[in-house]
Amino acid sequence: MKKIIQGIALFLLLLISTVSWAQNKTVTGRVIDDKGNAISQASILVKGTQNGTVTNEKGEFTISIPSTAQTLVISSVGYGTTQVPINGRTTIEVILKPDSQDLQGVVVTALGIKREQKALGYAVQKVSGESLQKVSGVDVSTSLTGKVAGVLVKNSQDFAAVPVITVRGENALLVIDGIAYQNKTLGDISSEDIESISVLKGATASALYGFRGANGAILVTTKNGSTSKSGLTIDFTTNTMFTAGFLAIPKVQSLYGRGENSVYDQYSDQSWGTKMDGTVRQQWDPITKTNSMRPYLPVGKDSFKNFLEQGYVTNNNLNLGYKKDNLSIRNSFNWTENKGQYPNSKLQKYTYAFGADLNVNKFKISTNFSYARKSSPNIGANNYTSYDRMYSILIWSPTDWNLSDYKNNYWITPGILQQNHFGLNSNGQNAGKDENNPYFDSYEKINKISRDVFNADVTMSYQLTDWLKATVRTGVDFYKEIGEVKLSKGSVLFTGGVPVPGNGGVWNGRLVGSYNIGQNTGTSVNSDFLLSGDKEITKDFNVEYLAGGTIFFKRDNNINGGTNNGISVPGFFSLAASVGPANVGQSTAAQQVNSVFGRVGISWKKTAFVEATGRNDWSSTLAKAQRSYFYPSVAGSFVISELLPNTKNWLDLLKLRSSWTLSKRPASIYEINSSYSISAATWGTLNGAGVPGNLYSPTIAPTSSETYEQGLQAMFLKNRLMIDVSHYTKRVFDRITTVGLTQASGYGGLVTNSKEEITRRGWEIILNGTAIKNKDWKLDIGINWSTYASYYTKLDTVYSAKKPWVKVGERADHFISRDFLRDPSGNIIHNGSGRPIVKPYDVLFGYYDPKFVWGTNANLKYKNFSLFVSIDGVNGGLANTRTESYMWQSGVHPNSLSSERELDVATPGSSNYLGQGVKVVSGSATFDANGNILTDTRTFAPNDVKTTYKNYMFDLHNSSAWGGNGSKADTYSRTFFKLREISLTYTIPTKLLHNVAKAASISFVGQNVLLKAKDFKYSDPDGGSEDFTDPSVRYLGVNIKFTF
Amino acid sequence: MKNFKYIFLTVFTLVILNSCTKKFDELNTNPDVPTSVSPDLLATSVLRSTFRFWNPNPTDWGTAQLFAKHCTNVSAGGNPYQYYGSYYPYGGFGWYQNLTSTKRMVEFANGNPALPSYEGLALFLKAYWGYYITLDMGDIPYSEAGKAEDGISQPKYDKQADVFDGILADLKEAELKFAAGVNFSGDIMLGGNAVKWSRLCNAFQLKVLQTISKK
């Protein structure tokens, strides 16, 4: 490896030293169409370089070129590409003919190579920065939702939750300005800084990114100032939105109060008690802090809504661009703040980005650096097992207490003893069940986070000859992430599964308080060197080539600690406050991958395109013998319309594409290392040691996958309509996996390459069109649709799970859970008490993955007004609703007000609910290991035993947030669609601006505006799964943009 | 102008040469976990997991090994332990996973004067585990147990009679190893006293013989 690189470096040295530097000259010109109209935003490129500019609105351009330059390449969206010989001129007028074959223009592909879309043998979809800047929310990923076929963005409604982006169902690599940073996320970038996003959907498209791009890549090109006009440009954007109503919010019944069996019980946290009918009962009085006799009424029926506060998101950006001659500089500042609905929840994000480009003759240098900080004094806790505040407000408390009375009133003895709605017992301790006062949870259970990321990159390129360019690119990032969980003394609940870095679930502090901290720091370095170029072999043949290498290195360090057995002083949160010796931990993980790669592309008459890539990696995470691995790809594209001369009047482009690629993913860090564990003071003063539980196969090779992709793209009617269809098949094999071994073998598991194969197949359809286009009106519509499913295509005879749903041809994303025993015709079988019997075997309920995902965007323009609407949705796929399951179990579900319940409560102790189904009269059945009936002598009769409504509902909705999927009744279809974004913009006419500003616009904007879900009624399924999801709120506000 | 070329080349070569020389094996070694340990640490953990009082079931306090000689459990209902010698009416091979620990213990004791005693401990524990597992389940893997590293990931089941033969042979060999009389460390049961362990191996053979003899 080292020798090769040294060789290449030497070769370069020789090459460069033979090339002399040349003088610059300036060429000005104008680009017009065949009718003499100016073409703005046309791209001017010095052939064989990346030295370029764009025309202004008058079609004019100025470009500084080396005197050796021979030819300019001029292109524009909707027009053809023309090459103009310079012939020593300094003023050039260019006429471009409309040629719709580049409606899509050029797209950025792997390693930042700009290519014409028609030459691509794989699916790449581009999203303009502008469409992400219509509405600026907390995270730009939300604005990406529904805008790319095959990309699903899951937007959890929980406060501070980061949207999860998947490309074809998998996590894609994020590449920013050519650098595949390890520690940056899309949320670290301000939408205003984004010039465009290119999504490389499959492994072929991102083959040159190696294993990190094996699931596709999201390439972000940030604005770098070179597209702005000469001189100083200042852009200011402010987008502020306030919460305005709910798309989904849990509701509870307010008829029945506390109790477990139809009788009032002051110390019960269930709502299966008597009616709140005004009867005088003993209740806790939070004002006098004593028990008192009061009429029992649903005084807390609006507690949850009253608890929620007005939230807002403000996203403000200031951009300064400066351009003069061959230098461009850009600075961007962003401040985003999100006030959550729960008290004491706020999130702040700051970003600063700097970019500069310098072109000197054949040499080009561009550099970016940015800093992003995200912090929150308290993000709270989400989901049931972390004791989300819904746990104590909505679920485990009836509506018989008014939460507002407990606001600013959650202490009995400050710092020691809290006040909740159960009050105190005779010993002066918290009575009843363990439920924190929700205001205590807001102000005394603090989950503080901060994350700082700094990154910098330099790209230098040098045009060695007409046909060869050398590029060096290095990017570095650093991050530091701190999480703290503080719990005051007096909490009757543990911290819950609230994570800090390095500890996935802190679980301590009940009554005694706790302090926990974790800190991650890390860095990644990406260095590329590339030699690239293209050459015309004959008039018809053109060849492009690239060779290069990459070194990728990353290291992460964690230290974490937590108090043991409580904190010594109330309100003193530090490891020094630990009563017992503090628990501490640390970890380190490092990896390096060296790669060399190459690419050759051949085109014939701009009709047929073929390219091949190859890459070899050396990964530190594999054993020496398996460390080096190679993966190739081949892609082709054929423009059929070039051969159909009689269709030119209606068919602009018809292209077929096809590709194949092999990609490999090495083991993750230390995944295949066998190591010992040490336990301190395991017996008295003696320490102990443990051997690894897993045996590691000595020949673990990378996980491999093979992807085939075919596609068709067509453009019609002068580019008014574009359709693109893709189909892909991805077969994953040799998956590194841990399979179970019998403990009699001495090990619990074996880490090996499984012979099991899972194949994912999918379709993607993109439809873009301009439905209306005239002097005043323009309507653009884009539709994205995609579907995929994964199947077992081969099983490992030894290690594949022996389950009925694990079979060749069956879906691999099975959703399994427990159902009730049923008779041959499907009726639920009841036991002697009239309650349904749970089948002691897992049953297949369906599948996790949606049937299809879609999104549509429309932009209607009328004179200075434009209306932008973005709608997206998910169809099918299963998800549990934890919220509703627990609403049923605790007795607060609004649908639980049945006549049987009324009767149960009227006569406590009576049973009035008759379950629909059967009971076993005689006989018995035997089952095999999968629950299939082997013998059955049972005879059935309709169930005639009544039970209480509570018992039956409890059985029907029984599920546990602590493990397993829920019951069938709480397994919902994820189907929903959402009006994601809306913006109505008025662009202020230039003459009204009186030279105060160059451009200005004002928009009324909304995000998360409307939701229609098939099954989910009380919560928003947008996050893909549902576990005490915060109420889904609508954001409405104003967006103002100024350009000075 | 010419300077650019030199800056370019310097950065170019430095970046490449600098990052290539890292040693991969060193990089892939987790600094926070050990790759080797001493035999006494393994002995402590294995003995603890073998003889530790596990079950939080309150009736255990009356019936399990530790307290049986000190107290009596009087209860009206039956208790699974009385029928199965176990709280759960099924057995498991969990103990056998410790065979890897005892194998490493012996390997790490190589060169240690206490090697014979660690070898004896490994043999005794295998016999001890095998004894209780075969009482739970009858025919069990014994001769091939704990040999995943030798490629036996699904050890064959031995007839119970053969298992008892194996147990007795291992106990006899263990007794001989301990008879060398070298005390060892890490022992939480008998303080590392080889003589006591030798006697225990002997006594346990009697217990096994008693178990297999006709009443």
Specify the CATH class of B39-212 in words.
mainly alpha
Evaluate if residue A683 carries a pLDDT over 70. yes
Evaluate if residue A293 carries a pLDDT over 90. yes
Evaluate if residue A6 carries a pLDDT over 70. no
Q: Which of A691, A695, A751, A752 to mutate to test the interface with B (most CBs of B within 10 A)?
A: A691
Closest CA to A317 of A226, A243, A242, A234: A234
Residue range A888-897, pLDDT digits in tens: 999 999 999 9
Residue range A464-476, pLDDT digits in tens: 888 899 999 999 9
Residue A895 at interface with chain B, using a CB cutoff of 8 Å: no
pLDDT at B79 (0 to 100): 63
Residue B58 — pLDDT band, cuts 50, 70, 90? very low
- Comparing A479 with A74, the larger pLDDT belongs to A479
Contact call for A1 and B140, based on CB within 8 A: no
Residue A1 at interface with chain B, using a CB cutoff of 8 Å: yes
pLDDT at A38 (0 to 100): 73
Evaluate if residue B7 carries a pLDDT over 80. no
CA distances from B149 to A43, A463, A694, B152, B155 (A): 64, 57, 11, 7, 12
Least confident of A544-548, A622-626, B8-12: B8-12
Domain A1-98 matching CATH 2.40.50.140: the answer reads no
Show residues of chain A in contact with B34, CB under 8 Å.
675-676, 678, 689
Least confident of A130-139, B73-82, B198-207: B73-82
Least confident of A49-63, A172-186, A269-283, B118-132: A49-63
pLDDT at A21 (0 to 100): 41
> d(Cα B50, Cα B126) in Å, to the nearest integer?
11
pLDDT at A103 (0 to 100): 41
Helices (H), A681-738: none
Contact call for B28 and A620, based on CB within 8 A: yes
Say if residues A654 and A246 touch (Cβ distance below 8 Å). Answer: no
- Could you tell me the two tokens for A269? 């946290």
Least confident of A794-798, A942-946, A977-981: A794-798
Contact call for B104 and A684, based on CB within 8 A: no
Mean pLDDT within A769-778: 90
- Comparing A100 with A500, the larger pLDDT belongs to A500
Mean pLDDT within A244-258: 95
Say if residues A871 and A855 touch (Cβ distance below 8 Å). Answer: yes
Percentage, residues of chain A above pLDDT 70: 95
Residue range A992-1021, pLDDT digits in tens: 888 888 889 999 999 999 999 999 999 999
pLDDT at A17 (0 to 100): 41
Least confident of A91-105, A244-258, A564-578: A91-105
pLDDT at A788 (0 to 100): 95
Evaluate if residue B105 carries a pLDDT over 80. yes
- Comparing B210 with A34, the larger pLDDT belongs to B210
A142 in the Ramachandran plot: left (φ > 0), alpha (ψ -120 to 50) or beta?
alpha
Name the 3-class secondary structure at A885: helix
Evaluate if residue A272 carries a pLDDT over 50. yes
Closest CA to A212 of A173, A248, A253: A173
Evaluate if residue A11 carries a pLDDT over 70. no
- Could you tell me the two tokens for A595? 């790669």
Residue A673 at interface with chain B, using a CB cutoff of 8 Å: yes
Least confident of A203-212, B86-95, B104-113: B86-95
Interface of A with B in 511-530 (CB under 8 A): 525, 527, 529
The residue extents of the domains of chain A are: 1-98
Evaluate if residue A290 carries a pLDDT over 80. yes
Q: Tell me, letter by letter, the H, E, C secondary structure of A200-267.
A: ECCCCCCHHHHHHHCCCEEEEEECCCCCCCCEEEEEEEEEEEEEEEEEECCCCCCCECCECCCCCCCC
Please name the member of B19, B24, B154 whose beta carbon is closest to the beta carbon of A620.
B24
Evaluate if residue A221 carries a pLDDT over 80. yes
Extended beta strands in A342-409, E state: 346-360, 363-378
Cα B104 off chain centre by: 9
Closest CA to A224 of A82, A363, A344, A358: A358
> d(Cα A22, Cα A462) in Å, to the nearest integer?
13
Say if residues A6 and B17 touch (Cβ distance below 8 Å). Answer: yes
Helix axes B194-212, B160-179, angle to 10 degrees: 160
| Mean pLDDT for all residues in chain A | 90
Give A457→chain B minimum CA distance, Å: 13
Evaluate if residue B167 carries a pLDDT over 90. yes
Complex ipTM value? 0.84
Contact call for B12 and A592, based on CB within 8 A: no
Mean pLDDT within B90-113: 91
pLDDT at A139 (0 to 100): 94
Least confident of A225-229, A427-431, A477-481, A542-546: A225-229
Mean pLDDT within A766-772: 93
Residue A547 at interface with chain B, using a CB cutoff of 8 Å: no
Chain B residue with minimum CA distance to A674: B35
Q: Which of A5, A524, A686, A697 to mutate to test the interface with B (most CBs of B within 10 A)?
A: A686
Residue range A309-324, pLDDT digits in tens: 999 999 999 999 888 8
pLDDT at A102 (0 to 100): 39
- Could you tell me the two tokens for B42? 């393994």
| CA dihedral angle for residue A904, residue A906, residue A908, residue A911, rounded to 10 degrees | -30
Mean pLDDT within A557-586: 94
Closest CA to A467 of A7, A67, A19: A19
Least confident of A69-78, A334-343, A537-546: A69-78
Cα A688 off chain centre by: 42
The residue extents of the domains of chain B are: 39-212
Contact call for A746 and B103, based on CB within 8 A: yes
Residue range A810-845, pLDDT digits in tens: 999 999 999 999 999 999 999 999 999 999 899 999
Closest CA to A493 of A450, A536, A430: A430
Residue reference for tokens 């926070």: B32
Chain A residue with minimum CA distance to B52: A683
pLDDT at A325 (0 to 100): 77
Q: What is the DSSP string of A55-115?
A: --TTSEEEEEEETT--EEEEE-TTB-EEEEE-TT-SEEEEEE-B-GGGTT-EEE-GGG-EE
- Comparing A61 with A792, the larger pLDDT belongs to A792
Residue A646 — pLDDT band, cuts 50, 70, 90? confident
